[in-house]
């Protein structure tokens, strides 16, 4: 066993940090993402080995945790359906926050039992001479970890439809949150000043944790389901920040680096997604967006034009340029494989096929990308709205599969719409737009979609998988 500043320990943590950075960079492209994930895993293994070599480590509990965690992860990987992946990701974020919170509590308790001098020695070389730094790091980790955990649980319940996906609002909600923040800060100061040796200081930590758990709930319940991708990425950032703060408590370099990378990347992704909706983070967190009942300020005019599978086949068969726009409805129907098969048939028929993905489509960041990658859709055929919108007038057919809010032209045409100003995929400008939906219900944002009434739009009602399968059969029969 070695001290924390031993050259072998230091070298392993440096190797782990480098592998984390390389792996994260490789996740930027679908073609290198798997390798990047593997490289990051090797980096984590190096960090675990380094931690196991630290003086005073007990292997029994480490082995127990590794076995139990691996078993749960393996079962989840095989049992959880792709449609449930968003809530699973949200739950993973929560467990990361919970782990950091428990580390903070456990270290504070150890400090209380051992006394500062012995606890200082147990931390190893490089520990701060003053308990102030450790106390501040402890309370910060406890707060962020608790907020992340309870907020992620609420996100999990919303995404799994265990509770309503609409914003849950009540009178004076912002004042309640402000009061909770104030009480947390006051109690945190009391904890730092008193320390663990004083029962007041120890009790203050417990109060901080309870209040932070409550704050996580009250912070996420007013956020609508349409904003869940942003919330998931933000909570992911929180879990990274909590892990980095826990690293400062333990003086663990690997944990600090890994947490910082997760926190920074999550925050960058959150900013990207906010820009994709043309909204600020404050607007996402505090606006209660999505609480409407499926109406817009401007009356929707026009006539809905249903279409049969056979008629849709004739339109697609004559097309030379087709853009698929997937949404959450495709995920629910598990239609990605038949969509890919239809795309291949269209290519054989001489059509140019592309798949346009909006940054906030689905229920988590990259949701549609994951589904299409699972169906082996070539990465070169995936395009962003900015790539296809300028040439949308030349597209013969735009096929919208379960998407709603990200193709809503009210964002461009109706200044009174809640979606006004949000960059969308402008499928209404295609020569023909075929929308696959089960019904005329509004999307997760609760805003009615004028696209359905456009003169060039045809509504193909039914389950997306069954409908696309029928189109595939039409092509094969010919």
Instruction: Confirm whether 198 is a catalytic residue.
Output: no
Q: Which of 227, 405, 414, 463 is catalytic?
A: 405
Q: Which three-class secondary structure string do you get for the chain?
A: CECCCCHHHHHHHHHHHHHHHHHHHHCCCHHHHHHHHHHHHHHHHHHHHHHHCECCCCHHHHHHHHHHHHHHHHHHHHHCCHHHHHHHHHHHHHHHHHHHHHHHHHHHHHHHHHCHHHHHHHHCCCCCCCHHHHHHHHHHHHHHHHHHHHHHHHHHHHHCCCCCCCCCCCCCHHHHHHHHHHHHHHHHHHHHHHCCCCHHHHHHHHHHHHHHHHHHHHHHCCCCHHHHHHHHHHHHHHHHHHHHHHHHHHCCHHHHHHHHHHHHHHHHHHHHHHHHCCCCHHHHHHCCCCCCCCCCCCCCCCCCCECCHHHHHHHHHHCCEEEEEECHHHHHHCCHHHHHHHHHHHHHCCCEEEEECCCCCCCCCCHHHHHHHHCCCCHHHEECHHHHHHHHHHCCEEEEECCCHHHCCHHHHCCCCCCCCCCCCCHHHCCEEEEEECCCCCCCCCCCCHHHHCCCEEEEECCHHHHHHHHHHHHHHC
Query: Distance (Å, rounded) from C-alpha 388 to C-alpha 77?
Result: 34
Catalytic (active-site) positions: 405
């Amino acid at each position: 066993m070695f001290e924390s500043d031993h050259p072998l320990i230091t070298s392993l943590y440096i190797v782990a940090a480098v592998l984390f950075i390389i792996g994260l960079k490789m996740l930027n492209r679908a073609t290198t993402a798997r390798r990047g994930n593997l490289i990051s895993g090797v980096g984590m293994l190096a960090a675990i080995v380094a931690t196991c070599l630290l003086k005073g480590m007990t292997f029994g509990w480490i082995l127990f945790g590794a076995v139990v965690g691996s078993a749960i992860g393996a079962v989840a990987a095989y049992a959880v359906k792709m449609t449930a992946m968003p809530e699973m990701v949200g739950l993973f974020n929560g467990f990361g926050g919970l782990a950091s919170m428990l580390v903070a509590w456990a270290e504070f308790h150890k400090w209380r039992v051992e006394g500062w001098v012995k606890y200082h020695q147990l931390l190893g070389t490089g520990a701060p001479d003053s308990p102030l730094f450790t106390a501040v790091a402890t309370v910060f980790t406890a707060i962020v970890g608790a907020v992340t955990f309870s907020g992620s649980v609420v996100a999990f319940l919303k995404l799994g439809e265990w509770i309503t996906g609409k914003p849950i609002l009540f009178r004076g909600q912002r004042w309640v949150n402000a009061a909770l923040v104030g009480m947390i800060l006051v109690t945190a100061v009391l904890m730092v000043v008193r320390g663990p040796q004083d029962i007041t200081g120890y009790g203050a930590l417990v109060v901080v944790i309870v209040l932070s758990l409550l704050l996580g709930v009250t912070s996420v319940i007013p956020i609508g389901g349409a904003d869940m991708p942003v919330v998931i990425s933000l909570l992911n950032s929180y879990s990274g920040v909590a892990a980095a703060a826990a690293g400062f408590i333990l003086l663990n370099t690997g944990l600090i680096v890994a947490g910082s990378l997760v926190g920074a990347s999550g925050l960058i992704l959150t900013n990207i997604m906010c820009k994709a909706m043309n909204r600020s983070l404050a607007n996402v967190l505090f606006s209660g967006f999505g609480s409407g009942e499926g109406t817009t300020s401007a009356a929707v005019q026009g006539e809905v034009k249903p279409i049969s599978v056979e008629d849709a086949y004739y339109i697609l068969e004559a097309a030379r340029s087709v853009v698929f726009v997937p949404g959450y409805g495709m995920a629910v129907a598990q239609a990605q494989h038949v969509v890919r098969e239809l795309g291949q048939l269209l290519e054989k028929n001489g059509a140019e096929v592309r798949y346009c993905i909006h940054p906030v489509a689905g229920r988590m960041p990259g949701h549609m990308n994951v589904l299409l990658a699972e169906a082996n859709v070539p990465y070169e055929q995936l395009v962003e709205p900015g790539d296809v919108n300028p040439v949308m007038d030349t597209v013969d057919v735009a096929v919208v599969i379960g998407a709603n809010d990200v193709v809503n032209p009210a964002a461009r045409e109706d200044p009174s719409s809640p979606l006004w100003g949000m960059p969308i995929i402008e499928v209404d400008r295609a020569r023909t737009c075929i929308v696959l939906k089960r019904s005329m219900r509004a999307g997760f944002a609760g805003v009615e979609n004028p696209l359905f009434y456009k003169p060039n739009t045809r509504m193909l009602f039914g389950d997306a998988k069954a409908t696309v399968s029928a189109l595939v059969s039409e092509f094969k029969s010919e």
